[in-house]
Structure 1
Amino acid sequence: MAAQDAAAMAPAGADPDYLPFHPAPSRPRFRPPAGAVDAHCHVFGPAALFPFAPERKYTPVDAPADQLFALRDHLGLSRNVIVQATCHGSDNSAMLAAIARSRGLARGVAVVSPTISDAELQRLHKGGVRGVRFNFLKRLVGDAPKDAYRDIAARLADLGWHIVVYFESAELDDLAPFLTSLPGTVVIDHMGRPDVSQGIKAKGFRAVQRLMDENERFWIKATCPERLTEAGPPYDDVVPFGKTLVERYPDRVIWGTDWPHPNMRSHMPDDGQLVDFIPRIAPTPELQKKLLVDNPMRLYWTEEVGA
């Protein structure tokens, strides 16, 4: 879908230049292994039930749970990890409601306030949350509140949660000391957002790999070729990055669609094509099972894996 056409379809209430998610994703040619997890996706609203945060930097289209779960089934996936996005702030109600409707097939990653009570953290845990997200993208959060992030991280150990971090690889040299000071498992979003135009030997991508090499408690998501590409679909220019991560860190890498793809500007991806990207970065059945089943189950459904 051309960006200008998609923008014209944005419903009332959304930002006028906001691109709605693909209305009819193709059915992928690749068949994911049984139990495959979409380990990075979102739900937005519906705003009539779950209003967006007043401090948000963007207003998306509604992307409710029933559409997410229908997409999961259409793509041949089995489970979802729903990541709280900045448009809902630290009100995780939409995510928790979606998890509650999933019949145990969804988990969540929350955004929380430093003043959150222990009782509320326990409520989130019982509701299926297994991690918290720290965002370092200035266009979404301004200057990241590192002191607040540090305070939150210190309170999560007893819950067994992990921390998801979202940053640009160009900023990693400055961020690395803070990131490595965080306790527990740390999961890097979207391949660390490398500049694909510079190739896999570029400084930023090498810094991401160095962080992974030196810290075995760090994981990474081989996600969002549509955000990283300069060439466009089918994202040939991003394949070397994803393949490097999957093959180098086979037990610490996960994958997800990023549906409904908030704040895309160049184009709106076909989620079927994103699933067909998987065998290009995980070329063997063994790597595919680790990426899509074993690793996300170990990270988010530990109680089932250990049963």
Structure 2
Amino acid sequence: MVAECHSVVTRGIINIAATMEAFDNAHRLIHLDLKGAPPKVSYYEKIFPAFRKWGATGLLIEWEDTFPYEGEVAHIGSSGPSSHGFYSKEDALHILQLAHQNGLMVIPLVQTFGHLEFVLKHKSFQSLREVENYPSSMCPTNPNALNLVKTMVVLEKLENRKPRLFLNHVIAVVKFIQNAFPSLGIIIWDDMLRGISLELLEEYDLGKYVEPMIWHYRAQDNFQLPPDMWDKYSQVFPNFWIASAFKGATGSSKMLPITSYHISNHMAWIKVLNEERGKFKNFRGIAFTGWSRYDHFATICEMLPVSIPCLALCLKSWNDGEFNPTIHESISKELGFSVPTLLNPYP
């Protein structure tokens, strides 16, 4: 992705008041990618109240190998050989309690198909890899995959077409979760759905099972989603979510976020939602994603503490429907800066 300086778009041509009124009841989730530099529990005690103060309503927590798994899969989690002890069962419960105390709902982000390096790197699960030398994705037609995610239904007469393989896997996972936890709603990243035809999505009745989270992290001058996507999704899914980014979207080795880029991403989303959300029954909310690594083996990028100013500015700009010098100055002052924070640390 590009990482040069981007101008920050403000009001543009949209109706700010009408747009913000429509967003009032939508969630604002902060993505915590814990597979890279997971904070100490004491850090959450300080940052969760700030998240809530800035307008967040929930957390999208990607535990990966920091979760205290037990039993047959204990070794893939925080008690495993590749973990540094983050987090114990008590730690995880405390984090959830802190979220509850601060009025933040928690949605766990659990990978079940791709981005499974933290599982498939282990010798005991190598046979489940889609490609032998690459631990990134699981083979959905391997019958032993059922023991890992306890979800897959292998059909005897399965057409050898990628969209159907993917959708069969999704439906199997969803049905298992719904049987185990009937009251849970299920959200799915949308990128694998973008290339699937409307007819196939309707054949699987996917909108009955999941709600898509439509992600796009680019700045406004390069913000582009498939032109037919919104019409297609609106015929399948009554409800939808979106995902923006406040860090981890401009390069896998970046040390500091380019705040102007990320604010521009949020302003672009406001414009698009103003045009497209009316096609759906409900806009559920937004996840402010903050990636720590591009995958389990990648270098760390933009650790959470140095990205807090960018997150605060993105949240405030989202809530107000614009970015302006007053927002810039007030948030910078609240965070203890004597001058406004840099919008681009790479001049």
What's the TM-score, normalizing by structure 2?
0.46
Q: Matched residues in 1 for 2:173 and 2:68: separation? A: 13
Q: Which of 95, 114, 117 is the equivalent residue of 1:98?
A: 95
Q: Matched residues in 1 for 2:38 and 2:194: separation? A: 32
Q: Matched residues in 2 for 1:90 and 1:162: separation? A: 23
Structure 1 gaps of 5+ residues are 4-30, 45-57, 113-132, 284-307
C-alpha RMSD of the superposition: 4.7
Residue 161 of structure 1 deviates from its aligned partner by 1.9
Q: Matched residues in 2 for 1:89 and 1:206: separation? A: 39
- Which residue of the partner structure matches residue 151 of structure 1? 172
SS of residue in 2 equivalent to 1:249: helix
Q: Matched residues in 2 for 1:183 and 1:36: separation? A: 19
- Which residue of the partner structure matches residue 216 of structure 2? 193
Q: Which of 50, 54, 68 is the equivalent residue of 1:75?
A: 54
Q: Which amino acid aligns with 1:160?
A: S
SS of residue in 2 equivalent to 1:143: strand
- Which residue of the partner structure matches residue 189 of structure 2? 166
Whether the aligned pair in 1 keeps the contact of 2:29 and 2:285 (CA below 8 Å) is: yes
1:247 and 1:157, CA in 2 relative to 1: closer, same or farther beyond 3 A?
Answer: farther
- Which residue of the partner structure matches residue 142 of structure 1? 136
Q: Which amino acid aligns with 2:62?
A: Q
Q: Matched residues in 1 for 2:117 and 2:219: separation? A: 20
- Which residue of the partner structure matches residue 45 of structure 2? 66
SS of residue in 2 equivalent to 1:206: coil
Whether the aligned pair in 1 keeps the contact of 2:212 and 2:240 (CA below 8 Å) is: yes
Q: Which amino acid aligns with 1:173?
A: G
1:90 and 1:183, CA in 2 relative to 1: closer, same or farther beyond 3 A?
Answer: farther
What is the correspondence of 1:98-247 to structure 2 with a 5 Å cutoff?
Answer: 98-101=95-98, 102-103=100-101, 105-110=103-108, 136=114, 142-143=136-137, 145=140, 146=166, 149-157=170-178, 159-166=182-189, 168=191, 172-174=194-196, 177=200, 181-182=205-206, 184=208, 186-189=210-213, 191-193=214-216, 199-200=222-223, 202=224, 204-224=225-245, 226-228=247-249, 232-235=258-261, 237-238=264-265, 239-247=267-275
Q: Which of 259, 267, 273 is the equivalent residue of 2:313?
A: 273
Structure 2 gaps of 5+ residues are 4-19, 70-76, 78-88, 119-134, 141-165, 252-256, 294-299, 324-347
What's the TM-score, normalizing by structure 1?
0.50
What is the correspondence of 1:47-58 to structure 2 with a 5 Å cutoff?
Answer: 58=35
Whether the aligned pair in 2 keeps the contact of 1:222 and 1:246 (CA below 8 Å) is: no
Whether the aligned pair in 1 keeps the contact of 2:26 and 2:283 (CA below 8 Å) is: no
Q: Matched residues in 2 for 1:164 and 1:90: separation? A: 23
Structure 1, residues 109-162: CA drift from partner, whole Å, max 9, x if none? 2356xxxxxxxxxxxxxxxxxxxx656458887225455543220133462322
Q: Matched residues in 2 for 1:185 and 1:229: separation? A: 33
Residue 103 of structure 1 deviates from its aligned partner by 3.4
1:274 and 1:87, CA in 2 relative to 1: closer, same or farther beyond 3 A?
Answer: farther
**Percentage of identical aligned residues:** 7
Whether the aligned pair in 2 keeps the contact of 1:212 and 1:218 (CA below 8 Å) is: no
Residue 192 of structure 1 deviates from its aligned partner by 2.5
1:212 and 1:282, CA in 2 relative to 1: closer, same or farther beyond 3 A?
Answer: farther
- Which residue of the partner structure matches residue 31 of structure 2? 41
Q: Matched residues in 2 for 1:245 and 1:220: separation? A: 11
1:253 and 1:73, CA in 2 relative to 1: closer, same or farther beyond 3 A?
Answer: closer
SS of residue in 2 equivalent to 1:70: helix
Structure 1, residues 166-218: CA drift from partner, whole Å, max 9, x if none? 3547x7205985796546453433x4336658845x4x433542343222334
1:59 and 1:43, CA in 2 relative to 1: closer, same or farther beyond 3 A?
Answer: closer
SS of residue in 1 equivalent to 2:59: strand
Q: Matched residues in 2 for 1:194 and 1:233: separation? A: 13
1:135 and 1:167, CA in 2 relative to 1: closer, same or farther beyond 3 A?
Answer: farther
Residue 245 of structure 1 deviates from its aligned partner by 2.3
The alignment status of 1:86 with 2:108, answered yes or no, reads no
